[in-house]
Structure 1
Amino acid sequence: MREYSVPVLVDVPPSANLTDTVFQRAEQEPGAVALRRKVGADWTAVTAREFRDQVAAVAKGLIAAGVEPGDRVALMSRTRYEWTVIDYAIWSAGAVGVPIYETSSADQVAWIVSDSGAKAIFVELESHEATVHEVLPKLDAVKHVWRIEGGAVDELSAAGAEVSDETLTERRTGRCVDDLATIVYTSGTTGMPKGCRLTHDNLLFTARNVSYGPLEKLFSVDNRSVLLFLPLAHVFARLIQVVLVETGTVIGHTPDMKNVAPSLQEFRPTFLLAVPRVFEKVYNGAEQKAVAGGKGKIFHAAAGTAIAWSRAESAGGAGLGLKLKHALFDKLVYGKLREATGGNLWAAISGGSALGDRLGHFFRGVGIEVLEGWGLTETSAPSTVNMPGANKIGTVGKPFPGVSVAIGDDGEILVKGRHIFKGYWNNDAATAEAIDADGWFHTGDIGEIDADGYVRITGRKKEILVTAAGKNVAPAPMEDRIRAHPLVSQALVVGDNRPFVAALVTLDPEALEQWKTANGRAGATLAELSADSAIIAEVQKAVDDANRSVSKAEQIKKFTILDIELSEETGHVTPKQSIKRNVVMRDFAKQVDELYG
């Protein structure tokens, strides 16, 4: 078994908990800007003391409402300022946060709230409140439902006015590293979500070893800031939130992941975190805009130069000619792309799925270095991450300090460290299956470790397809390459127990609008475009590109374009934009069968 370990860099005292930094910074740097929140059209600064005071007030309200140490409190909301206030208030009251995706169905809410035994629920909107009330009769443990846009923060602050500072301090400091901080439910691509038990130590140990280790450069620049737009219900954004608080990085929030560009230009972050689909949309949108404006050749030349320059830098440095071309396109193209993200952005963290070499090199060539990382809910988000200045594009980086990674005999990636969760809530059997007797967590991902300790993900153990001829096929790399095409939204490679490999493809609605305008097809429906010969030819190019990356036996022989968009709303995609393979295979079984008819 090949193994690679990195020594611990930062220890966490046994008495520590996640709220310490919030309260200590308010005393040490009361006037420092901790967050900026959108009030009307303006971004308003929130100082460290103001943030602490609001967290404390809500925490006192929770105590007054009867929330006891260790009680679970659910939070169903989009990413917004109040999410962070409530999250830290729950911890300050000694309770355990249970995040719920704001897109969750009534059945999902009922399962998470009942399984966790949550005593109270925060919701954001009236629609969320209606979802909760639909299943509330089944939830005997729930005593309170507070609505953020119904004045929940002010209501609780007023209700807790009689709770003393001494009571709050006793409650807050009574929690330590070994105590449960949150139960994060997996997004459930198959079956009901499982609750992952994460302690204060899991999150603090991870946050401090990442921020003072591989990502130190991101958190040592002046005027650093991050705009959060990924769901805070997901462990990736949640862990980054902790990192930002721990490092004194200014935080902003916006709930609109699909239209984040205006907020980026207003907030002007120095770095951000996103999933690969966001970077794909940025690239495809810029390409489509350039083509529509008659500047497609310039854009493609600039993109090619950015990629070539980045590849040359990885190989030891670009030559003079390439440097001159790169400098020219920096003035003509790259600077405008950076300005579209606010002008201060120089780095980003990508997680959730593979970014791909092409996009990684493109963005580095443009001047925005995208650092891929990898992990799961069970590993408190990251286990590996690339570093500024040591970014090996195409990998997910090296283990961060305090983490060991190994490759099992079957190629599965195994992980060990203090960031590993304490097991599944109410599910000892699943815990025993995930963590072996030697303490290794079995991730379910397939991969390899190179001589320098960088990890490369090559597939998902449960998603490996085995064709009727016995050929093992990893679908994810091919799907990533197909999705790189501007017109493609999602791709699902199929072929398990079938004679050959095939694919289901969906089209990107935004890119289609530009394509229709450019090709005189205004008014054409999605169903018509899915069968259009010109569209089919474009998708064929994407499939051909994917086929060039694999052996002949693994190549996609046929594909079909579905006439719908796979999304959270249709139930085919998780909130972190992962395809629910089992649901897609069930709902489009007829189309799959027709591929082999």
Structure 2
Amino acid sequence: MKTSFSGPGRELTADRGLHSVLRTGRREDPDRPLFRRRSESGWHEIGYREFVRHVESVAGELLRRGVRRGDRVAILGRTGYEWALADFAILAIGAVTVPVYPTSSPHQIRHVLGDSGASWFFAETAEDASRLGAETVWLFAELDSWRDEPGTEFEAHQEKVRAGDLATIVYTSGTTGPPKGCLLTHGNMYASSANTVLRTDWLFRQATEGSAEPATTALVLPLSHVFGRTILLSCVIAGTRTALLPGVPELLGELPTVRPTFLALVPYALEKIRKLGLRDLGPLRYVISGGASLDDTTVAHYRDLGVEILNCYGLTEAATAVTVNAPASNRAGTVGRPIPGTTVGIADDGEVLVSGPNVSPGYWPAPVDTEPGWLHTGDLGRVDDDGYLVITGRRKEILVTSGGKNVAPAPLEDRVRAHPLVSNCMVVGDGRPYVTALVTVDSSADATDRTVVADVQRAVDEANELVSRAESIRKFVIVAGDFTVDAGHLTPSMKLRRAVIAQAYAADIAALYRVDSK
């Protein structure tokens, strides 16, 4: 088995929890700007001293209201200062954060809350609170008034938190079946974030290499997803000046003011920003991209604007960080080298295996027995001679045509989605004589217009240039509507739920394979 290991990394001291990270920042550089918070009067900068004081005040209030060590506390809301504040306060007293995606359906919310046994609740708005279905829900807006001293009880609770304690239960957005609650400890989350900072050299600390100016970012990733929280914790560890914004639309409006030197985004967001045709991205020079594959044309677009894409790879079960490219050693076509302390291996069948202090102990309600030392990711890949990981597909998403041809759908889908008119694309072909595709277009486009159809055909033709004839898309259909999270077509992190889409568009798929279809 070929492996890649980048050397020892940083780990949280066994007798410490994540709150120690904040106290370290307060001790070493109390007034360093940590967060930028939007108010009616403009942006307000918050340093370590002020943030730690607020976190400990909220933590003390939680104790006074009955929250105890090990209690599960759900948070439903968009990315913002209050989400981070609630999360760090929960962790400070040894309670457990249970993120709830803002786009979750009532059924999904019931599953997460019921399965985790959450008994305390935070929500962004009154509407969000009603969706949680709980008698008492604390709104984000209340947290500004939670400013009392934490009290002696807080210190006693804080001192008992350990690196091996459970920090969060993150429900993985699987493509089939109900989500499973992945367990992540304080030590898992620290190892993932601290070693991401190490692997990316100066990126989280300095505006440019060797600069005295601190790095600045705008975090728009959902904090309900572990990718967002890993980046957030990385910023806290490194002292990155961070503006917390609820989404990409808000980011676009604040770019001239926030002026980030780097961003962390998923490919879906990069593709959407690209389609807007922005040319001036200010001092932005790097984007960490993770969560799915990114089309080469999107990478080239940003390179033309002076922005370099740093592909990374991870999954919830490894607190999202396994490999990442760095500014000085970025290698196109790869997802980087392992973060320090993490080992990546390639099994005989090509599956990517992971070992390290970032790997989850298992799933709620109790850890499960797995092969000692290795996390089986379900992804296929290879390691090059310099230790860089290349993801080549996913075992469960490899399509095998009736002719026995293996087809990786992601590269085809990525290329078709890159067209400005295309909203989404799903390749079909498992057990079929040839490959086809379901395509959705932006709501402003007329799917029956010949020009639109011709444009989509050109997008398909470009995608087919990436593969052999046997792997190419022979036919496609523009289907009604779009693939959405609410309808169950997409996971909250925007991955395709292939089985759900195939069932919803079964008639369209059948028409593509009729003998008389053209």
After TM superposition, the score normalised by the length of structure 1 is 0.82
> Aligned partners of 2:403 and 2:291: how far apart in 1?
32
Q: Tell me which residue corresponds to 1:506.
A: 440
Alpha-carbon distance, 1:13 to partner: 1.8
Please tell me the residue identity of whatever aligns with 1:5.
Answer: F
Which deviations, in whole Å up to 9, do the C-alpha atoms of 1:401-425 show, x marking residues without a partner?
1111111122111111111111011
> Which residue does the alignment assign to 1:40?
40
After superposition, the Cα gap between the structure-2 partners of 1:285 and 1:163, relative to the gap in structure 1 and judged at 3 Å, is closer
Q: Does 1:398 align with 2:337?
A: yes
CA deviation profile, 1:20-70 (whole Å, cap 9, x unmatched): 121233344332222110102611112222211111111011101111111
Aligned to 2:170: 184
Cα 1:469–1:193 change in 2 (3 A) is same
Aligned match of 2:210: none
Where 2:340 maps in the other structure, the secondary structure is coil
CA distance in 2, matches of 1:368, 1:86: 33
CA distance in 2, matches of 1:41, 1:412: 52
Distance 1:406 1:28 in 2: 38
Deviates more, 1:106-115 or 1:346-355: 106-115
Of 41-50 and 402-411, deviating more is: 41-50
1:486 equivalent in structure 2: 420
Alignment partner, residue 21 of structure 2: 21
Length, aligned pairs only = 509
Equivalent residue for 1:146? 138
Distance in 1, matches of 2:165 and 2:253, equals: 40
Equivalent in 499, 510, 513 of residue 582 of structure 1: 499
* Residue 541 (str. 1) matches residue 475 (str. 2): no
Q: Which residue of structure 2 aligns with residue 242 of structure 1?
A: 233
User: In the aligned structure 2, how far is the partner of 1:462 from the partner of 1:173?
Assistant: 44
- Structure 2 residue 394 is the aligned partner of structure 1 residue 455: no
What amino acid is aligned across from residue 97 of structure 1 in structure 2?
A: T
Q: Is the 8 A contact 1:501 1:557 kept in 2?
A: yes
Letter of the 1:501 counterpart: V
Greater Cα offset, 166-175 or 479-488: 166-175
1:139 maps to which residue? Answer: none
Q: Normalising by structure 2, report the TM-score.
A: 0.94
Q: What CA distance in whole angstroms lies between the structure 2 residues aligned with 1:282 and 1:144? A: 39
Aligned counterpart, 1:74: 74
Whole-Å separation in 2 of the counterparts to 1:448 and 1:488: 31
Query: Secondary structure of the equivalent of 1:219?
Result: coil
User: How much has 1:147 moved relative to structure 2?
Assistant: 1.8
- Name the stretch that deviates more: 356-365 or 117-126: 356-365
**What aligned pairs does 1:139-538 form with structure 2 within 5 A after superposition?**
144-149=136-141, 151=142, 153-154=143-144, 157=146, 161=148, 164=151, 166-221=152-207, 222-286=213-277, 337=279, 339=280, 341=281, 343-426=282-365, 431-432=368-369, 435-436=370-371, 438-509=372-443, 512=444, 526=445, 529-538=446-455
Match of 2:9 in 1: 9
- Distance (Å, rounded) in 2 between the aligned partners of 1:346 and 1:417: 30
Residue 558 and residue 181 in structure 1: after superposition, are their counterparts in 2 closer, same or farther (change >3 A)? same
For 1:381 and 1:163, the matched residues in 2 are separated by: 32
Q: In the TM superposition, what is the alpha-carbon distance from 1:162 to its structure 2 partner? A: 7.2
* C-alpha separation in 2, matches of 1:386 and 1:439: 24
CA RMSD after TM alignment: 1.8
CA distance 1:404–1:360, change in 2 (3 Å): same
| 1:84 lines up with 2:84 in the alignment | yes
Contact 1:405 1:415 in 2 (8 A): yes
Structure with max Cα Rg: 1
SS in 2 for 1:226: strand
Q: Is the 8 A contact 2:35 2:241 kept in 1?
A: yes
Decide whether aligned partners of structure 1 residues 28 and 216 sit closer, same or farther in structure 2, where only a CA change above 3 A counts.
closer
Moved over 4 A (4+): none
Q: How far did 1:163 drift?
A: 5.0
Q: For residues 192 and 60 of structure 1, do their structure 2 counterparts lie closer, same or farther at Cα, with a shift above 3 Å needed?
A: same
Q: Is 1:402–1:418's contact at 8 Å kept on the other side of the alignment? A: yes
Whether the 8 Å CA contact 2:58–2:150 is kept in 1: the answer is: no
- One-letter amino acid of the structure 1 residue matched with residue 342 of structure 2: V
Which runs of 5 or more structure 2 residues have no equivalent in the other structure? Answer: 208-212
2:470 is aligned with 1:553:
yes
Paired AA for residue 369 in structure 1: E
The separation in 2 between residues aligned to 1:68 and 1:398, in whole angstroms, is 40
Q: Which amino acid aligns with 2:346?
A: I
Taking the aligned partners of 2:23 and 2:350, their CA distance within structure 1 comes to 45
- Greater CA drift, 10-19 or 104-113: 10-19
Contact 1:413–1:444 (8 Å) recurs in 2? yes
Pairwise CA distance, 1:362: 3.1
Give the unaligned 5+ runs of structure 1.
137-142, 287-335, 513-525
Higher helix share: 1
**1:60-139 pair list within 5 angstroms:** 60-133=60-133, 136=134
Question: Is contact 1:360–1:393 with CA below 8 Å preserved after alignment?
Answer: no
Please say if residues 346 and 352 of structure 2, whose CA atoms lie closer than 8 Å, have aligned partners that are also in contact: yes
- Between stretches 242-251 and 209-218, larger displacement belongs to 209-218
Cα distance, 1:259 vs structure 2: 4.8
Q: Cα deviation per residue 1:74-100 (whole Å; 9 max; x = unaligned)?
A: 111100110011110001122111111
Cα drift, residue 357 of structure 1: 2.4
In 2: Cα distance, 1:372 partner to 1:182 partner: 26
Secondary structure, counterpart of 1:439 in structure 2: coil
CA displacement at 1:154 relative to structure 2 = 4.3
